[in-house]
Amino acid sequence: MKNLLIKNLHYQHCGPIDIQINSGECVAIFGASGSGKSLLLRALADLDEHTGDISLDDISMNQVSAPEWRQKVALLPAESQWWFDTLGEHFSEIDHQLIKQFGFPENVMSWSVSRLSSGEKQRLALLRLLLNKPDVLLLDEPTANLDKNNTLLFEKVVEDYIQQHSACVIWVSHDAHQLERVSSVQYQIEHGQLHRH
Amino acid sequence: MFIPLTSLDLSLAAVLVIMLALLSWRMQLNVTQQLIIAAIRTTVQLLLIGLVLKTIFTHVDILWVALICLVMLSVAGWEILSRQHRKLKGWWGFGVSTASLFVSSFFISILALITIIQADPWYHPQYAIPLLGMLLGNTMTGIALGMDRLVQTAWQQGSIIEQRLMLGQTSVQAINDIRKESMRAGMIPIINSMAAAGIVSLPGMMTGQILAGAPPVEAVKYQILIMFLITAGTGFGVISVLWFISRRLFDDRHRLRFDQLLKTVKNK
Contact A19, A6 (CB under 8 A): yes
Amino acid letter at A35? Answer: S
How confident is the model at residue B245, as a pLDDT? 94
What is chain A's Cα-based Rg? 16
Instruction: Please give the Cα distance from B108 to B121 (Å, whole number).
Output: 17
How confident is the model at residue B51, as a pLDDT? 93
Confidence check: pLDDT of B268 > 60: no
Do B113 and B144 lie in one domain? The reply is yes
Instruction: Please give the Cα distance from B149 to B179 (Å, whole number).
Output: 9
How confident is the model at residue A102, as a pLDDT? 84
How confident is the model at residue A15, as a pLDDT? 85
How confident is the model at residue A18, as a pLDDT? 95
Are A83 and B177 an interchain contact pair (Cβ–Cβ within 8 Å)? yes
Do B48 and B69 lie in one domain? The reply is no
For residue A75, the chain B residues in CB contact (below 8 A) are 166
Question: Which residue among A77, A79, A132 sits closest to B168, beta carbon to beta carbon?
Answer: A132
Buried b / exposed e over A135-162, threshold 16 CB at 10 Å, is bbbbbbbbbeebeeebbebbbebbeebb
Do B28 and B138 lie in one domain? The reply is no
Instruction: Please give the Cα distance from A42 to A54 (Å, whole number).
Output: 12
Do B86 and B210 lie in one domain? The reply is yes
Q: Between B98 and B2, whose confidence is greater?
A: B98
Do B99 and B203 lie in one domain? The reply is yes
Confidence check: pLDDT of B151 > 70: yes
Do B38 and B114 lie in one domain? The reply is no
Do B44 and B152 lie in one domain? The reply is no
Are B160 and A75 an interchain contact pair (Cβ–Cβ within 8 Å)? no
For residue A12, the chain B residues in CB contact (below 8 A) are 268
Are B165 and A74 an interchain contact pair (Cβ–Cβ within 8 Å)? no
- Helix residue ranges per DSSP H, chain B: 7-26, 32-58, 62-82, 90-101, 107-112, 125-156, 158-166, 171-196, 204-211, 216-248
What is the number of domains present in chain B? 2
Alpha-carbon dihedral sign for residues B248, B252, B257, B260: negative
Last residue of a domain, one of B15, B39, B58: B58
Contacts of A140 (CB under 8 A, 6+ apart): A37, A38, A41, A75, A76, A77, A78, A172
How confident is the model at residue A73, as a pLDDT? 97
Instruction: Please give the Cα distance from A42 to A78 (Å, whole number).
Output: 12
Buried b / exposed e over A99-128, threshold 16 CB at 10 Å, is bebbebeeebeebeeeebeebbbbbbbbbb
Do B92 and B173 lie in one domain? The reply is yes
The answer to the question of residue B267 being in a domain is no
Question: Which residue among A46, A49, A132 sits closest to B167, beta carbon to beta carbon?
Answer: A132
The residue range of the domain holding B23 is 1-58
pLDDT in tens, B13-42: 999 999 999 999 999 998 899 999 999 999
Do B50 and B79 lie in one domain? The reply is no
How confident is the model at residue A90, as a pLDDT? 95
* Number of inter-chain CB pairs under 8 A, A vs B: 56
Amino acid letter at B79? Answer: E
Give the model's confidence band at B120: pLDDT under 50 very low, under 70 low, under 90 confident, else very high.
confident
How confident is the model at residue B265, as a pLDDT? 62
How confident is the model at residue A143, as a pLDDT? 92
> Which residue ranges make up each domain of chain A?
3-196
Residues in chain A with pLDDT values less than 50: none
CA distance A78 to chain B (A): 11
Do B182 and B253 lie in one domain? The reply is yes
Do B65 and B145 lie in one domain? The reply is yes
Alpha-carbon dihedral sign for residues B220, B226, B232, B235: negative
Last residue of a domain, one of B13, B40, B58: B58
The residues of B whose Cβ lies within 8 A of any Cβ of A are 157, 159-160, 162-170, 177, 253-256, 267-268
Give the model's confidence band at B178: pLDDT under 50 very low, under 70 low, under 90 confident, else very high.
very high
Are B169 and A67 an interchain contact pair (Cβ–Cβ within 8 Å)? yes
3-state secondary structure of A83: coil
Among chain B residues, the shortest Cα distance to A91 is held by B167
The answer to the question of residue B265 being in a domain is no
The CATH topology of domain A3-196 is: Rossmann fold (3.40.50)
How confident is the model at residue A28, as a pLDDT? 96
Give the model's confidence band at B266: pLDDT under 50 very low, under 70 low, under 90 confident, else very high.
low
pLDDT in tens, B194-204: 999 988 888 88
Residue to mutate among B159, B163, B254, with most A CBs inside 10 A, is B163
Instruction: Please give the Cα distance from B154 to B246 (Å, whole number).
Output: 9
Do B45 and B89 lie in one domain? The reply is no
Residue B102 DSSP label: I
Last residue of a domain, one of B58, B78, B107: B58
How confident is the model at residue A1, as a pLDDT? 62
Among chain A residues, the shortest Cα distance to B173 is held by A67
**What percent of chain B stands above pLDDT 70?**
99
Contact A39, A193 (CB under 8 A): no
